[in-house]
C-alpha cells in the first residue's frame, strides 16, 4: 500500500470500511506477489491505486498527475481584493483535441463579477421590447423547445499576444471551445414575433452588475444559441449557469452569461459592455466585431522544451469567426516557406480545429509559425503584413487593428527551449 492509502485507512472508523480496506490490502498483496511471479510480466501502477470513494463514483476527477490549470490574465488578479473574477486564461499548451474541458474553459467578465449562484427552478428568460408577443420562459420550458448541439469557440477581445508574454496560455489563453447545447435564439425571437423596427437586441445577465450587450438583429437571427448545455452537462456557473447566450465567431463579451432578458430594440443601446469596447475608427470597429482567421501552435510553444533532435508532431489550434477553417499551413523557417498541415477531425464552423504536422527537428535553431485560411478565403496575417497593409511606420511596434488574429512565432533554440518570438 502507498503512504497515502495508509493515512486514509487510519482515518476511517467505519467497520464496513475496515473490512473493505482489509480486502483491499489482500488484493494489493496479491498484486505485488504477482509482480514477482507473474509469467505475463504485470507490474503494479507506479502510484498505487486510487481508492474508490462515493464522491469519485458520483463525479469523477482527473489524475493527480495532471496539473494543468487556468491563470489570471492581463495583469489583474482573479479573484481580486473584492472576490470578483475578471479574466482567466485556459492552459492551451496542454490541450489535446478541440474541446476545452469545462473546468479549464477561459472566463471573462466585464468589470469583474461575482459568479451568481442561481437556482434553475427560479431562473427565467424574458423576451420583450419590439415583439408582438412578449414571452417569459422557465428552464423547463426552454428544454421543451427544439434543441441544437454545436461546437463553438468563444474568444475574448483581450486575447492579444505581445512580446512580453511567455507561454501560449498568456498569448492565446482567452479562447476556448466547447460543445454547446440549447435553443436557437431565432426560434425564441420568431416565437415572440420581432416587429419591423427591431434591428438590435440587448441581452442581459442576472449577475450583480446585470451585464448587457447590444447585438445586431442579423446576427441574432442567424446562428446565436441560448445554451443550457456545455460539454454534455449543464453550463458551468463560471460560464453562465443555468443559461447563456452564445454569439458564434463574434467577440466574447457578446455571449452574455446568466442570461435573463432579451430586449428587441431599434438602435445600438450603448450599454456599459458596449461602451467598454468602443473604437475610434470604423475599420477598427468592423475588425473588432467578427473574429478573423487565427491559429497558434500549442506544441511546441513558449517555455516548453524539446529533449533533443528527432521526430515531433507539431500541433495547434485554428479557428475563425468567418466560418470553418479550410486550411492551416505551418512554417519551420520563420515564414519563408509553408507546408500544409493536416486537419485532425472535422473543421466545424466557428470552432477550434486541431491541426498537426509531422516534423523532424534537426537540432538547429528555427522559428515555427502557423497560418489559418477560413472558408471565406481570408488568411491569417503576420504582424509585418498588418503593418504593411495599414502603412504603419516600420520603426514602431505593430498595431493590430480590431481583434488580434496575427501569426504567432515560436523560436526553438538549439538546446530545445522554445520562446515567444514576437519582436
* Residues 287-306, interacting with another protein (CB under 8 A): 287, 289-293
In angstroms, the CA 88 to CA 165 distance is: 15
Identify which range of 45-53, 57-65, 99-107, 280-288 contacts another protein by CB under 8 A. Answer: 280-288
When the beta carbons of 284 and 303 are compared against another protein, the nearer one is: 284
Contact (CB, 8 A) for 106 and 78: no
Considering only residues 9, 49, 68, 199, which one is a binding residue for another protein as defined by CB under 8 A? 199
Residue 129's DSSP bridge partners are: 264
Which residues lie below 8 Å from residue 100, measured CB to CB, with a gap of 6+? Answer: 90, 106, 176, 177, 178, 352
402 lies in the site for another protein, by CB under 8 A: yes
Q: Is 40 exposed, middle or buried (0-12, 13-18, 19+ CB in 10 A)?
A: exposed
Report how many residues bind another protein under the rule CB under 8 A: 80
Shortest separation between residue 191's beta carbon and another protein, angstroms: 5
When the beta carbons of 104 and 289 are compared against another protein, the nearer one is: 289
CA 26 to chain centre: 45
In angstroms, the CA 318 to CA 331 distance is: 15
When the beta carbons of 35 and 389 are compared against another protein, the nearer one is: 389
Residues 76-95 binding another protein (CB under 8 A) are: 80-82
381 lies in the site for another protein, by CB under 8 A: yes
Considering only residues 272, 309, 337, 413, which one is a binding residue for another protein as defined by CB under 8 A? 272
327 lies in the site for another protein, by CB under 8 A: no
Contact (CB, 8 A) for 115 and 109: no
Considering only residues 31, 51, 71, 135, which one is a binding residue for another protein as defined by CB under 8 A? 135
When the beta carbons of 167 and 370 are compared against another protein, the nearer one is: 370
In angstroms, the CA 107 to CA 287 distance is: 22
When the beta carbons of 50 and 270 are compared against another protein, the nearer one is: 270
Contact (CB, 8 A) for 295 and 371: yes
When the beta carbons of 267 and 362 are compared against another protein, the nearer one is: 267
396 lies in the site for another protein, by CB under 8 A: no
Minimal CA–CA distance to 247: which of 319, 189, 321, 348? Answer: 321
Residues 348-377 binding another protein (CB under 8 A) are: 376-377
1 lies in the site for another protein, by CB under 8 A: no
Minimal CA–CA distance to 173: which of 313, 10, 303? Answer: 303
Shortest separation between residue 377's beta carbon and another protein, angstroms: 8
281 lies in the site for another protein, by CB under 8 A: yes
Residues 200-259 binding another protein (CB under 8 A) are: 202, 204, 208-210, 212, 216-219, 221-223
391 lies in the site for another protein, by CB under 8 A: no
Q: Tell me, residue by residue from 143 to 162, as one string, x for binding to another protein by CB under 8 A and - for no binding.
A: -xxx----------------
Shortest separation between residue 160's beta carbon and another protein, angstroms: 15
When the beta carbons of 274 and 367 are compared against another protein, the nearer one is: 274
Q: Which three cell numbers stand for residue 274?
A: 458596449
Contact (CB, 8 A) for 255 and 154: yes
Greatest extent of the chain over all pairs of C-alpha atoms, in Å = 81
When the beta carbons of 128 and 165 are compared against another protein, the nearer one is: 128
Coil, strand or helix at 94? helix
Give the residue carrying C-alpha cell 487565427. 294
Q: What angle do CA 196, 202, 205 make, to 5 degrees?
A: 150
Residues 17-76 binding another protein (CB under 8 A) are: none
When the beta carbons of 125 and 234 are compared against another protein, the nearer one is: 125
Minimal CA–CA distance to 351: which of 382, 377, 374? Answer: 374
In angstroms, the CA 24 to CA 17 distance is: 10
Amino acid at each position: 500500500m502507498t503512504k497515502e492509502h495508509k493515512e486514509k485507512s487510519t482515518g476511517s472508523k467505519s467497520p464496513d470500511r475496515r473490512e473493505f480496506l482489509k480486502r483491499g490490502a489482500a488484493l494489493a498483496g496479491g498484486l505485488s506477489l504477482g509482480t514477482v511471479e507473474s509469467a505475463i510480466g504485470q507490474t503494479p501502477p507506479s502510484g498505487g491505486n486510487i481508492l474508490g470513494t462515493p464522491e469519485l463514483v458520483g463525479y469523477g476527477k482527473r489524475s493527480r498527475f495532471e496539473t494543468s490549470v487556468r491563470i489570471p490574465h492581463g495583469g489583474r488578479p482573479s479573484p481580486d481584493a473584492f472576490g470578483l473574477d475578471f479574466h482567466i486564461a485556459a492552459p492551451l499548451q496542454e490541450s489535446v483535441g478541440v474541446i476545452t474541458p469545462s473546468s479549464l474553459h477561459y472566463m471573462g467578465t466585464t468589470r469583474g463579477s461575482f459568479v451568481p449562484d442561481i437556482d434553475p427552478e427560479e431562473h427565467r428568460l424574458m423576451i420583450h421590447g419590439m415583439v408582438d408577443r412578449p414571452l417569459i420562459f422557465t428552464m423547463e420550458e426552454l428544454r421543451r423547445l427544439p434543441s441544437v448541439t454545436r461546437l463553438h469557440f468563444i474568444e475574448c477581445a483581450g486575447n492579444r499576444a505581445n512580446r512580453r508574454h511567455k507561454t501560449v496560455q498568456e498569448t492565446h489563453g482567452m479562447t476556448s471551445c466547447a460543445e454547446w447545447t440549447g435553443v436557437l435564439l431565432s426560434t425564441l425571437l420568431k416565437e415572440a414575433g420581432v416587429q419591423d423596427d427591431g434591428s438590435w437586441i440587448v441581452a442581459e445577465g442576472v449577475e450583480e452588475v446585470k451585464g448587457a450587450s447590444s447585438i445586431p438583429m442579423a446576427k441574432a437571427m442567424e446562428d446565436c444559441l441560448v445554451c443550457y448545455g456545455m460539454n454534455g452537462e449543464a453550463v458551468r456557473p463560471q460560464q453562465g449557469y443555468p443559461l447563456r447566450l452564445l454569439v458564434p465567431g463574434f467577440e466574447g463579451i457578446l455571449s452574455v452569461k446568466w442570461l435573463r432578458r432579451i430586449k428587441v430594440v431599434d438602435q445600438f443601446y450603448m450599454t456599459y459592455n458596449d461602451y467598454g469596447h468602443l473604437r475610434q475608427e470604423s475599420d477598427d470597429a468592423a475588425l473588432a466585431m467578427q473574429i478573423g482567421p487565427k491559429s497558434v501552435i500549442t506544441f511546441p510553444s513558449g517555455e516548453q522544451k524539446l529533449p533533443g533532435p528527432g521526430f515531433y508532431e507539431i500541433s495547434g489550434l485554428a479557428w475563425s469567426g468567418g466560418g470553418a477553417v479550410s486550411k492551416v499551413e505551418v512554417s519551420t523557417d520563420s515564414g519563408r516557406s509553408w507546408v500544409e498541415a493536416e486537419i485532425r477531425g472535422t473543421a466545424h464552423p466557428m470552432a477550434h480545429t486541431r491541426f498537426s504536422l509531422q516534423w523532424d527537428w534537426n537540432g538547429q535553431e528555427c522559428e515555427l509559425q502557423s497560418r489559418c485560411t477560413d472558408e471565406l478565403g481570408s488568411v491569417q496575417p503576420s504582424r509585418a503584413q498588418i503593418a504593411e497593409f495599414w502603412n504603419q511606420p516600420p520603426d514602431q511596434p505593430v498595431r493590430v487593428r480590431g481583434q488580434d488574429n496575427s501569426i504567432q512565432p515560436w523560436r526553438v533554440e538549439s538546446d530545445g527551449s522554445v520562446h515567444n518570438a514576437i519582436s
